[in-house]
Amino acid sequence: MIVFAGRLRYDLGSMSAPTKSLADWLPAPAITALRHDLLAWYRTHRRDLPWRRTRDPYRIWISEVMLQQTQVATVIPYYQRFLASFPDLEALARADIQTVLKHWEGLGYYRRAHHLHQAARELVRSGKGRVPDQHLAFRALPGVGDYIANAVMSIAFAQPRAVVDGNVKRVLSRLGGIAEAVNQASAHRVYQRAADLLLDHGDPATFNQALMELGALVCTPRSPNCPICPWKARCFAHLNDRTHDFPRRIRKNPVPTHAMVAGIICHRNRLLIVQRPSEGLLAGLWEFPGGRRNRSESASAACRRVLQQTTGLVTATDQKLVRVHHAYTHFKIELDLYRCHKVSGRVRLNGRQAFRWIRPDELDAFPFTGVSKKTFPKLALDRLCSTPYRRP
């Protein structure tokens, strides 16, 4: 069976093997038509998002960093609060990292906040005090990879650089029947070449945003809305009824779940919080002291053991307050949180940066890890450390 789509001719009987390149089958007139159709669709259907009302490279940079692996609806209030406190590079550079992390609290992937802060300080310290308009100079800043560099250079400075994120890969995979797995690192260059081929050099800012918007609103991971897609007449996956086959992904092993314990150690109506190291996972954030539980021991026994190992304190467990679950990129946590009381000893941290004895009503003053933050609504903070100890 033969299907005609514009100037393209699809032989469904001979296309069981997808292509690796859009250039294999898209002639130049088809690419011109794709650009025109996408931009026309975008002018009508684009969302009114706060970072689309500016060409300020700093604000665009902040939005693109926040949007990495985070949904738009989640980002909007964080973006607005962040810019209210840090309206420019100088304000961000002057801020203490704890203040920056507090503004980022709950957004996840905290390394992004550290890198933004480091980059702002580098730029201000160098005397420039502005976002570089040269790709290589911007790309050299902490946390700036190919995607961020291309996005900011194209959107803020109208430079012809194509962006490739998850939405873009999904659209390109279906459009061209690209066989390379989107989650395979070596495949990135295939999708970058495809995006470069399609890019509208006359208006790269609008084109890049339109392509990402198409992936976000129409060419979604499940149940893409093909009937309203401006590219449906030229899309390999749609014309061959194979949208469910693309994009292809390498199946990964299930992420492990770690059993963890933590304690709210109460002493003289205050509780102990500890700060994570300045490098590594969740760097600089605060949490309740704790660690991993061995499967062969009870959660309460594990809590007492871990607290003594990590804080130097001998404690007594009072009651289990809550169990919470939390997912990171490569593993999950099942955390049992206990109320504990100090029996003896002095705090001697093992691998932590700092500690504080605080009142329960002071918890909101510190940037906490996501798993610790999840426990807050389930704790009776007003009487957490004032309730008499009950021997189990």
Strand partners, 332: 257, 327
Tell me which residue of 132, 109, 214, 122 sits closest to 166, measured CA to CA: 214
User: Are the C-beta atoms of residues 20 and 180 closer than 8 Å to each other?
Assistant: yes
Q: pLDDT value at position 91?
A: 98
User: Are the C-beta atoms of residues 351 and 312 closer than 8 Å to each other?
Assistant: no
Mean pLDDT within 149-164:
98
The answer for residues whose C-beta is within 8 angstroms of residue 71's C-beta and 6 or more apart is: none
Q: pLDDT value at position 9?
A: 38
User: Are the C-beta atoms of residues 303 and 290 closer than 8 Å to each other?
Assistant: yes
Q: What is the pLDDT of residues 17-66, one digit of tens each?
A: 455 567 666 788 899 999 999 999 999 999 999 999 999 999 999 999 99
Q: Which CATH class is domain 257-383?
A: alpha beta
Yes or no: is domain 2-245 CATH 3.10.20.30? Answer: no
In sequence order, what DSSP letters do the residues of 226-246 get, joined into one string? GGG-TTGGG-HHHHTT-GGG-
| Element spanning 148, H or E | helix 146-157
SS3 275: strand
Tokens of 392: 């189990």
User: Are the C-beta atoms of residues 26 and 7 closer than 8 Å to each other?
Assistant: no
Give the mean pLDDT of the chain.
90
Q: pLDDT value at position 11?
A: 41
Strand pairing class (270-275; 257-267): antiparallel
| ∠ CA 224-38-227, rounded to 5° | 35
Catalytic residues: 64
User: Are the C-beta atoms of residues 130 and 89 closer than 8 Å to each other?
Assistant: yes
Point out the least confidently predicted range of 201-210, 325-334, 350-359, 382-391.
Answer: 382-391
Q: pLDDT value at position 25?
A: 64
User: Are the C-beta atoms of residues 280 and 310 closer than 8 Å to each other?
Assistant: no
Domains 2-245 and 257-383 share a fold: no
User: Are the C-beta atoms of residues 322 and 378 closer than 8 Å to each other?
Assistant: yes
Residue 5 has pLDDT above 60, yes or no: no
Q: Please state the domain extents for the chain.
A: 2-245, 257-383
| Terminal C-alpha separation, the chain | 75
CA 373 to chain centre: 18
DSSP E strands, the chain:
2-5, 8-11, 257-267, 270-275, 286-287, 290-292, 314-327, 332-344, 354-358
Tell me which residue of 120, 124, 145 sits closest to 135, measured CA to CA: 145
Q: pLDDT value at position 330?
A: 87
Tokens of 123: 């730029």
Q: What is the pLDDT of residues 292-310, one digit of tens each?
A: 999 899 999 999 999 999 9
